[in-house]
Amino acid sequence: MDLWKPQPVGRLPRFRQSLSRKSCVLDQLLQHCLNALVLGGTYALLGIGLTLIFGIMRVVNFTHGELYSFGAYMMFMFVMLLHLDFFLSLVLAMLLGIALGAAIEFLLLRKLRGADIDTTMLVMIGAWIAMQNLEQLVWSGVAKSIKTPFPSSPLVMGALSVSWNRLFVLAVALGLILCTYALVNRTRLGRAMRATFQDPDTAALMGVDIGTIYMSTFALGSGLAAAAGALLGPIFVVTPTMGDLASLKAFAIVILGGLGNIVGATIGGFILAFIEELGAGYISSGYRDAMGFLLIIAILLVRPTGLFSRKERIG
Partner 1 sequence: MQSSLKSVIAATGILLFASAAWAQDTVKVGVSEPLTGAFAASGNYVTQGAQLAADAINKSGGVLGKKLELIVEDNKSNPTEAVDTAERLIVKDKVPVLMGAWSSTLTLAVMPKLEEYKVPLLVETSSSGKITTSGNPYIFRISPTSEMEATAFAPLAKSLGIKKANFLVTNNDFGKGSMQEFTKMLKGQGVDIGAQETMEPDATDLSAQLAKIKAAGGDTLFVTTDVAQLTLILKQAKDQQITMRIITTGGSVAPDQLIDQAGDAANGSYHLVFFTPWFPDAVKNPDVAQNFTAAWKDKKYNVGGLTEGFRGWDGIYTIAAAINGAGKTEPEAIREALWKVKVKGVNGDISFIKQGPSGKESGQNVPSVYLVKIEGGKVVKQ
> Which spans of this chain sit near partner 1 (rule: CB under 8 A)?
24-25, 27-28, 31-32, 35, 39, 136, 140-143, 145, 147, 152-154, 156, 161-163, 166, 232, 235-237, 239-242, 245, 276-281, 285-286, 288-289
CA-to-CA separations, 52 to 4, 148, 200, 222, 251, in angstroms, rounded:
26, 30, 15, 10, 12
Nearer of residues 279 and 306 to partner 1, judged by Cβ:
279
Residue 41 identity (one-letter amino acid)? G
* Contact indicator for 243, 292 with CB cutoff of 8 Å: no
Nearer of residues 106 and 139 to partner 1, judged by Cβ:
139
Handedness of CA 55, 271, 250, 71 (dihedral sign): positive
Residue 5 main-chain phi, psi, to 5 deg:
-75, 155
Cα(81)–Cα(289) distance, integer angstroms: 33
CA 88 to chain centre: 21
User: Residue 297 gets which letter from DSSP?
Assistant: H
Cα(285)–Cα(273) distance, integer angstroms: 13
Helix (H, G, I), strand (E, B) or coil at 207: coil
